[in-house]
């Protein structure tokens, strides 16, 4: 996995990173954005435009945010609420559109906790 979006994105979903991504690999959940690890080309265009500094390279992620490495991948590997199968590698976020659900970790995050 090249880049990871962590908890500062929860309930923000600014989408500046989506506009910068040259390969359309940033997908929208209900409360957070997720980078598809197999589609990401590790270019880093998303990282500097994130207004809440939620994006970092997986090898440089802060220790308190490391849980989001696995959670970011889980968004594509788990059967999310309201879906019949895992997303896998859809081949582009814009064609798929907003997914409308999140991983259990993000879903369980209280709204007030994500804005601090």
pLDDT at 116: 46
Q: Is 113 a residue whose pLDDT tops 70?
A: no
Q: According to CATH, what is the number of the domain 3-105?
A: 3.30.70.20
Using 50, 70 and 90 to split pLDDT, how confident is the model at 1? low
Q: 27 near 99, Cβ under 8 Å?
A: yes
Q: 49-58: per-residue pLDDT in tens?
A: 999 999 999 8
Quote the Cα angle for 26-97-62, to 5°: 25
Neighbours of 72 (CB within 10 A): 27
């Amino acid at each position: 996995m090249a880049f990871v979006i962590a908890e500062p994105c929860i309930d923000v979903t600014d989408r500046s990173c989506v506009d910068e991504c040259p390969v359309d690999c940033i997908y929208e959940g209900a409360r957070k954005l997720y980078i598809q690890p197999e589609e990401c080309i590790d270019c880093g265009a998303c990282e500097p435009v994130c207004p809440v500094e939620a994006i970092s390279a997986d090898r440089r992620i802060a220790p308190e945010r490391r849980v989001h490495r696995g959670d970011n991948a889980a968004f594509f590997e788990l059967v999310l609420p309201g879906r019949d199968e895992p997303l896998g590698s859809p081949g582009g976020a814009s064609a798929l559109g907003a997914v409308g659900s999140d991983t259990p970790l993000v879903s369980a995050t209280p709204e007030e906790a994500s804005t601090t």
